[in-house]
Structure 1
Amino acid sequence: MGIIANPASGRDIRRLTSRALVFPTVEKVNMIERLLGAFAATGVQRVLMMPDLVGIAAGLLRAIEGRRGQGEAAWPEVEFLEMPLTDSALDTVRAVERMRAAGVAAIVVLGGDGTHRIVAGACGDTPLATLSSGTNNAFPDLREATLTGLAAGLFASGAVSPAEGLVGNKRLRLRVGEREELALVEVCVTRLEHVGARAVWDPASIAEVYAAFAEPDAIGLSSIVAGVSPVGRRQPHGAWVHCGGAGAEVGAERGGVWAPIAPGLVVPVPIAASGLLQPGQPVALRSLRGSVALDGEREIELDGRQMATLTLELDGPRSLDVPATLGAAIRRGALRYPAAAPLGPP
């Protein structure tokens, strides 16, 4: 198994400006400990982890040594990848590439939408098991790590087949000139011409939002689309909105929606137009200048000189369906053991 835990997730300016608690390093360590306990119960023997500079690896090493000293049941062997650290998204990309090369059965990701976007861009056919530890968490599951670890371990051990345990996801492909970027949830075009602070929290700056899926109970920029045209994860289309306000066509505004674009931040967003996003059909961005946010974080500046198009794709990364995996395992008795046998991995 592979584990990617983003040390920076759940700590950006949106949480500070909306009075939401940051996601502490100690809880990420605790989540990984719970994952390891579930892995041990399902027979997983080796785990590859991304190293970091903020204390996740150090905290986990202390926990491993503590268990050995107290004689507690062994966890799987945890191996931290040997790789240079840049304290940037490049660390995640390098770690995922090394995990794929090592043949991990799946990668458990602790992070928000932005973290999962980076992992999805490098994971290829390796499935993801998702856990929320970010600010915007529309893509990853908000679930107890023990259950995700149990399901991932059962899948890795072969107790549940890919057809039973995995689901496909959509993605958005943005092309700006020769550059290509992917998003898992939404692409937002803002009126801010420079990236600066990457987060988007001012509704007046939002010009266009394109969503692969937009569920009514999601926090983030996809909630703007959900307020007009909700779209499920498994529906074969997406949706878009053009926002009113500064720069909108005179008389085009048709009211708006109250949208929870960040924790504790529910704001009015004027809407000028909306529609469905069909797969495989490139759509030209209306804005020529501004900056583009991918899954909540601004990454690209538009200078008006390059054509920008967006395409919805249905062949995004595969992810683990935890309830379906656990249900399939229970139906075939993968979690049972003989009455006379000692407890141990199934």
Structure 2
Amino acid sequence: MSKNGQTPSVGILANPAAGRDIRRLVAQASVFPISEKRNMIARLFTALGSLGVGTVYMMVDRMGISDRMRHALQIPPPGGQVWPTVEFLEAQITESAADTLNATRMMADRGVGAIIVLGGDGTHRLVASQCGDIPLAALSTGTNNVFPEMREATIAGIASALVATGQVPLEVATRRNKALRVDVNGVESDLALVDLCASTEIWIGSRALWRAEGLDQLFLAFAEADAVGLSSIGGLVNPISREVEGGLLLNLTEPHNAKTVVAAPLAPGLIVDIGVESVREIRPGEFVPLRIKKGVIALDGEREIEFSIDDDVSIRLEWDGPLTLDIPLTMAYAAEKELLIRMDDETPHARFVNK
């Protein structure tokens, strides 16, 4: 049962726009089609229903995901599978970040035991800002996919169901993540899960950041050498893992002025020279002021915050980010405890064993 004594429930939040922004268009990269998101959700339904999740909550959209799932629900599931009851969270559709934020809050209000997110770094950042300590199953369907993982939806659904139904304890199945926090004039403004970049550009414009011009400081919660996006700069200079206590600060400059120049994959199919002036570690709780006085801050690859000379802006790294499902550990625990194994009394093998 769920924490409210209700049938165990899970939220599925699939961003219809994830994996379809300007970064993929300019680099001629493939997009993540709505049809595959629909297929992933159908596989999630199968996994969740087979493990005892009674209700799934989903966001409505205008790009076809919710309509396709409504149509799929009118047809009996294949192979005799049992799908959960699906409730679509009706709300005014804005086709903006507000849809994700509202849906996450509604799922939290309904007491879901987990939220499965289909999106990139930006989508997961939005969900993380509203989900509290509800564990996230982070599935990669976006453009820059550093925070979420490439996982088969069936396995992610099984792991989510095991946690939502209480069969695997949260302390076994989840891990806490770091977050980069933005404070503007002493008030917390927003967060990033992977990278935060201050730019000398003075307006947001197209939100997706895919050009190197004007990049001034780059803050990283973690940096992997095989990543795509801004965090790849740090990953190629000084890799730092999700588990390490601190993060990184890179002061950037134009390549012709830099001692170190990194050929960084800023987006799929887009490699750009980035000049690095200096690199240092940042500690949790350390307040770092920006060195430029006006500009734009990009959070996980998307421009979000404009600031002026009248604003006091600082960045800090904290260990208060979202809980995410560690799917390999969850499945290993399920194997150890034989949670997915049963012996039918009427099978020939069972009759032989029970003689």
Give the 3-state SS of the residue equivalent to 2:75 in structure 1: helix
Q: Deviations over 1:57-113 (max 9, x none)?
A: 011111111226x78432111110122221111111111111111110010001100
Match of 2:113 among 86, 105, 122: 105
Q: Deviations over 1:209-263 (max 9, x none)?
A: 10011111111111111122211001100001111118x9xx6x22211111110
| 2:294 alignment partner in structure 1 | 289
- Counterparts in 2 of 1:70-219, with a 5 A limit? 72-177=80-185, 178=187, 180-219=189-228
Give the 3-state SS of the residue equivalent to 1:203 in structure 2: coil
Match of 1:24 among 16, 33, 48: 33
Please tell me whether the aligned partners of residues 104 and 130 of structure 2 are also in contact (alpha carbons under 8 angstroms).
Answer: yes
Please tell me whether the aligned partners of residues 50 and 82 of structure 2 are also in contact (alpha carbons under 8 angstroms).
Answer: no
Give the 3-state SS of the residue equivalent to 2:117 in structure 1: strand
Give the 3-state SS of the residue equivalent to 2:281 in structure 1: strand
Match of 1:307 among 312, 317, 335: 312
Give the 3-state SS of the residue equivalent to 1:323 in structure 2: helix
Tell me, in whole angstroms, the C-alpha distance in 2 between the residues paired with 1:13 and 1:135. 9
Q: How far 1:326 sits from its partner (Å)?
A: 0.3
Q: Which runs of 5+ in 2 are unaligned?
A: 1-9, 348-355
Number of matched pairs: 337
Give the 3-state SS of the residue equivalent to 2:189 in structure 1: strand
Match of 1:243 among 229, 248, 252: 252
Tell me, in whole angstroms, the C-alpha distance in 1 between the residues paired with 2:82 and 2:329. 28
Alignment of 1:323 with 2:323, yes or no, is: no
| 1:271 alignment partner in structure 2 | 276
Q: Which moved more, 1:197-206 or 1:75-84?
A: 197-206
Amino acid at match of 1:14: R
- Counterparts in 2 of 1:14-53, with a 5 A limit? 14-53=23-62
Q: Which moved more, 1:126-135 or 1:79-88?
A: 79-88
Q: Which runs of 5+ in 1 are unaligned?
A: none
Please tell me whether the aligned partners of residues 181 and 188 of structure 2 are also in contact (alpha carbons under 8 angstroms).
Answer: no
Tell me, in whole angstroms, the C-alpha distance in 2 between the residues paired with 1:17 and 1:46. 40
Tell me, in whole angstroms, the C-alpha distance in 2 between the residues paired with 1:320 and 1:79. 23
Aligned-residue identity in percent: 45
Give the 3-state SS of the residue equivalent to 1:227 in structure 2: helix
Tell me, in whole angstroms, the C-alpha distance in 2 between the residues paired with 1:165 and 1:243. 38
Please tell me whether the aligned partners of residues 50 and 81 of structure 2 are also in contact (alpha carbons under 8 angstroms).
Answer: no
Please tell me whether the aligned partners of residues 188 and 209 of structure 1 are also in contact (alpha carbons under 8 angstroms).
Answer: yes
What is the root-mean-square deviation of aligned Cα atoms in Å? 1.6
TM-score normalized with structure 2 length: 0.92
Please tell me whether the aligned partners of residues 204 and 269 of structure 1 are also in contact (alpha carbons under 8 angstroms).
Answer: no
